[in-house]
Chains A and B, each alone.
Chain A
């Protein structure tokens, strides 16, 4: 989408909602080095949301939307759950259809966009909860990876079914007592990052969203690798503070505690050989661009 598409006719400007006016004035569509640092100085691609106060998922949403390398040509696919409360307020096209079918929808979508826009980049990013990704939708999650579908799958792992009130999920820790796990969960947290690697993902990261710079890096990598090579998977810990008995201000600390080296969200990364090569190329280009910009700035000040 060209940026001109979002311009408002002068005659209609004053009747457009203020959030749309802001989007036209100061969003970061098309900005090459957009990232989390734009938050606060530009219009974010998320308006208000109806998540609980302090929900780490809302932080994750803001960082991810700020970090998408190409939001003006990105379509997101969601699923049922807390994320589906947010997507209606997101300024990239997004699809909610059913619970658990997100990777199937994304497969069809990516192929349709490739058929219709063969010479343009159209990124597809799936964002769904752990119930959608690992339980009800596991078949379609894995099959999309087997087929090497070229899109990114992001799982917001809060280790339970949050939106329905805190029931056991496959990514829940063993022993955790929850609804539908009245004597504690009887089996281990499903090891989806390892399964993702074995299923053909070219980039797999398991981490929390405590650090925006890290979220920015893994999102950019995941989208670029999916665009050029094949499927990528990010499993991000977004604890449900409500269901694990924490207060609004304790989400960040919960993530920091869970990402310690011995904990289950210690940073883990897998990069395939072709993906490593691509990242090296992208990094070289980035350095070149920065050097050129520096030189240009030097000339301007001289």
Chain B
């Protein structure tokens, strides 16, 4: 069943060399390339030794999903097809993962919502599927614009949820994501989120690993639950199916399995720290004022800090990289000196601020905002104004059309 000799150093049918993942991501030479986020997704998947990718059109992930079709045509992926809806696609991904494949898919906004029933099922079935979520509005009337509200719905599915800031994060995290989610003590799906358009449709310099090196293939026999390929004995799983049984043993079984899924999320912590060099990045943690953000709000926060520095206001920054596992200790530590914590977000409800408030002592320090949504951009000036208003300082900027 399990390979007894190492596959590292051998070549796949495209002539790529299976390379130790740590060496590939940390030691292999990098080439700066000027790509859109969608193209970066394609380049990461070219190196990811994926078996199956299933696609469906929805803005703003359609381009990436189609580009991966080109990879399939070139022979880099075992199989690829367009499903009939996101609900079906996520079930098709489940089928492929149950069958022992390394699986990749992408979705966005309403697609994430339509597919939602699948996500706790993926986690409960311990399927290490990777799903790129290029966040967009889910409100009515119809919007295709950037908005991160959908991430809030993913947080309690049992999936790992990471939030990339840049295309570089995306490239590295797609490959690292498989390494974390395929660990036997984790073996959970990963929702790798980014802010649609801001990351997918803009060009950036991204340092790519060599195209002739790829990840080692997925080994389904390291899974903590049996792979459904009839290559291991089909043991009878239970005397009585637990569904609909109204008895203690049934409740206890369901309860313990739910606890195990969340324990697996916890166990992913050490692997995520190892691969991502920590669950957060923090700067100037001795400052009185901290900005805590995820996704492109981090970039905007960084700009706001620069503007504030020009005026002599010192401000620190926490970039939250993983939402699940949630970096509770790290955020507490990084914000322990802060008197004011600002949480800029691209959504109307402020889910990140709520998570932070539930995590740190003296949560009155958290200023939930600024919030933009429905496709609105977040100029750093509105973060500066939010901070100055809260501190009773005179605003630096007059924001046209914002009623200020």
Residues in chain A within 8 A of chain B (CB atoms): 1, 5-6, 17, 19-20, 47-48, 50, 72-75, 77, 80, 84-95, 97-98, 101, 104-117, 122, 139-140, 143, 147, 163
Contact = CB atoms under 8 A, between A and B. Distances in A.
Give chain A's interface secondary structure class. helix
A48 B52 CA distance: 36
Interface string B38-57: 00000000000001101000
B117 A114 contact: no
A111 B98 CA distance: 11
Interface stretch (B88-96, B191-199, B331-339, B386-394): B88-96
Q: 9 shortest A-B CB distances, which residue pairs?
A: A108-B95, A112-B99, A115-B78, A108-B96, A104-B91, A108-B92, A112-B101, A101-B91, A109-B95
A210 B190 CA distance: 47
A117 B51 CA distance: 12
Given A84-B243, A115-B79, A147-B81, A139 B88 contact: yes
Interface in B227-250: 228-241, 243-244
B92 A104 contact: yes
A109 B121 contact: no
20 contacts: A86-B241, A87-B241, A88-B241, A89-B236, A93-B234, A98-B117, A98-B121, A101-B87, A104-B95, A106-B95, A107-B83, A107-B95, A109-B98, A109-B99, A111-B79, A111-B81, A112-B103, A114-B79, A139-B84, A143-B83
A139 B85 contact: yes
A6 B243 contact: no
B100 interface: yes
A302 B330 CA distance: 85
A108 B229 contact: no
A288 to B, nearest CB: 28
Contacts of A48: 239
A110 B52 CA distance: 11
A140 B95 CA distance: 13
B100 A116 contact: yes
Contact of A105 (B78, B98, B103): B98
Given A88-B237, A108-B98, 8 more contacts: A1-B232, A6-B233, A50-B240, A104-B92, A104-B95, A107-B95, A108-B96, A108-B99
B20 to A, nearest CB: 23
B249 to A, nearest CB: 14
B97 interface: yes
Contact of A72 (B79, B118, B230): B230
A86 B84 CA distance: 29
Nearest to A139: B84
B9 to A, nearest CB: 22
Contacts of A94: 228
B285 interface: no
B226 interface: yes
A167 B343 CA distance: 50
B229 A113 contact: yes
B125 interface: yes
B78 to A, nearest CB: 3
A95 B98 contact: yes
A74 B84 CA distance: 25
Contacts of B121: 97-98
Contacts of A98: 91, 117-118, 121
Nearest to B127: A97
Contact of B94 (A88, A89, A105, A116): A105
Nearest to B84: A143
Given A105-B91, A115-B101, A73 B230 contact: yes
Nearest to B218: A116
Contacts of B99: 75, 108-113, 116
Contacts of A73: 230
Contacts of B244: 85, 163
Nearest to B85: A139
A92 B231 CA distance: 10
A215 B371 CA distance: 62
B234 A91 contact: yes
Contacts of A87: 241
Nearest to A106: B95
Contact of A112 (B87, B96, B235, B239): B96
A93 B233 CA distance: 8
Interface in B209-239: 226, 228-239
Contacts of A113: 99-100, 229
